[in-house]
Amino acid sequence: MQQRFLGQSGLRVSALSLGTMSWGTVTDEEQCRELLRDYLAAGGTVLDTAMSYGEGSSEAILGELIGDVVARPEIVLVSKAGIERRKGQRMVDCSRRGLLAGLDASLARLGTDYLDLWLAHTWDPHVPLEETLAALDYAVSSGRVRYAGVSNYAGWQLAKAAQLSAEPLVVNQVEYSLLNRSAEQEVIPAAEDAGIGIMCWGALGRGVLTGKYRGQIPSDSRGASERWAGYVEPYLSGKASRITEALITAAKGLDRGTGELALSWLLDRAAVATAVVGPRNSTQLKTILASNLEPLPEQITEVLDEVSVGAGFELGVGR
């Protein structure tokens, strides 16, 4: 798998990152073990988690697998703090106290004494930005974090953070795909100006760009579950459906998979370093890993650009 630099930093990341948001909830430990083995065998290096995923269960499972399935130095371990889910309720706390307590808890669950990359999970309007950035800086200077970044920051927020941060920020993780190009309005220009890389979550349009939702919602899919239906629903009608149909047509013409084309398109965009994929099972992951991720023919790129222009602007880049 191709390795790319994250922004202007010296940190190398694989083109595809393995997302673990469903680990410990939808995906059990044995499935997680199989996913991790397959991903590593394909040359992947980046494992993306957060303290809020599964209320800590994602990190806990990763902690069990690291050292067993893979040696710690062989991976780029990414986690985030600032969002907690308590009994299903989303709580944001990007204060110095909240972030550093989250870091301590993440390291304990992961069974490691450092993270390669640690992100403030979201913008917190109730905490001074300087305080959030000071926590990131302290985490790096104390040796518990190698690189720092942010997640779900709008363009003006990213520009301000890049200007104020003592420790250079290397990444902004935001939603970005053919079905949501809102990052192109302000986030991408701000990232390019500051030398910050983009890590894309929702790279397959929350699963919709695989084509599996065409005409119906599969009974075993996230879209059919009470927990995840609201996550998928915004991309099942209107403009999103037209984009998916255009992608399916292009894929047939090239004799390639729809998800494969979606990832190729995304990885060729400005400032994008890595795309996070979150398969729930080994079958889904093997399909993704078999993808040809080389840039698309120029004519196909132009068609996809045209049909998807303005997509997702009403949704924004945050989660």
Please indicate, yes or no, if residue 302 is contained in any of the structural domains: no
Least reliable range by pLDDT among 37-51, 59-73, 84-98, 121-135: 84-98
Band (232; pLDDT cuts 50, 70, 90):
confident
Written as six digits, the tokens of 47 are 């494992």
205: left (phi over 0), alpha (psi -120 to 50) or beta: left
What domain count does the chain have?
1
Least reliable range by pLDDT among 32-46, 83-97, 245-259: 83-97
- The 10s digit of each residue's pLDDT in 50-69 is 999 999 999 999 999 999 99
Band (313; pLDDT cuts 50, 70, 90):
confident
In this prediction, residue 146 carries a pLDDT of 99
Residue 145 has pLDDT above 70, yes or no: yes
Question: Which DSSP state fits 27?
Answer: B
Is the pTM of the predicted complex or chain greater than 0.85? yes
For residue 131, what are the CA distances in angstroms to 119, 127, 140, 164? 14, 7, 15, 11
Please indicate, yes or no, if residue 112 is contained in any of the structural domains: yes
In this prediction, residue 267 carries a pLDDT of 98
Q: Which amino acid is at 182?
A: S
Please tell me the distance from the alpha carbon of residue 192 to that of residue 197, in angstroms, as a whole number. Answer: 8
Please tell me the distance from the alpha carbon of residue 149 to that of residue 120, in angstroms, as a whole number. Answer: 7
Residue range of the domain that includes 90: 3-206+267-293
Please indicate, yes or no, if residue 63 is contained in any of the structural domains: yes
Band (160; pLDDT cuts 50, 70, 90):
very high
Report the percent of the chain where pLDDT is more than 90: 86
For residue 11, what are the CA distances in angstroms to 165, 175, 185? 18, 21, 26
For residue 191, what are the CA distances in angstroms to 160, 161, 166, 242? 11, 11, 17, 29
| Strand (E) or helix (H) holding 47 | strand 46-48
| Beta strands at 12-14 and 3-5: parallel, antiparallel or unpaired | antiparallel
Question: Which DSSP state fits 154?
Answer: -
User: Exposure of 163 by Cβ count < 10 A (0-12 exposed, 13-18 middle, 19+ buried)?
Assistant: exposed
Please indicate, yes or no, if residue 241 is contained in any of the structural domains: no
Nearest of 78, 82, 79, 86 to residue 54 by alpha carbon: 86
For range 258-269, the mean pLDDT: 98
Least reliable range by pLDDT among 145-154, 171-180, 205-214, 243-252: 205-214
Residue 198 has pLDDT above 90, yes or no: yes
Q: What are phi and psi of 241, to 5 degrees?
A: -65, -40
In this prediction, residue 222 carries a pLDDT of 60
Specify the CATH number for the domain of residue 63: 3.20.20.100
In this prediction, residue 184 carries a pLDDT of 97
Higher pLDDT, 273 or 88: 273
**Which residue's entry shows tokens 């990052």?**
183
Higher pLDDT, 233 or 147: 147
Residue 230 has pLDDT above 80, yes or no: no
Band (215; pLDDT cuts 50, 70, 90):
low
In this prediction, residue 88 carries a pLDDT of 73
In this prediction, residue 228 carries a pLDDT of 61
SS3 content of the chain, % helix, strand, coil (to 5): 45, 20, 35
In this prediction, residue 6 carries a pLDDT of 98
Band (221; pLDDT cuts 50, 70, 90):
low
Nearest of 206, 219, 212 to residue 178 by alpha carbon: 206
| Average pLDDT value over all residues in the chain | 94
Please indicate, yes or no, if residue 315 is contained in any of the structural domains: no
Please indicate, yes or no, if residue 225 is contained in any of the structural domains: no
Band (133; pLDDT cuts 50, 70, 90):
very high
Report the percent of the chain where pLDDT is more than 70: 94
Please indicate, yes or no, if residue 300 is contained in any of the structural domains: no
For residue 227, what are the CA distances in angstroms to 92, 232, 263? 20, 10, 26
Please indicate, yes or no, if residue 279 is contained in any of the structural domains: yes
In this prediction, residue 233 carries a pLDDT of 79
In this prediction, residue 314 carries a pLDDT of 73
Residue 224 has pLDDT above 60, yes or no: no
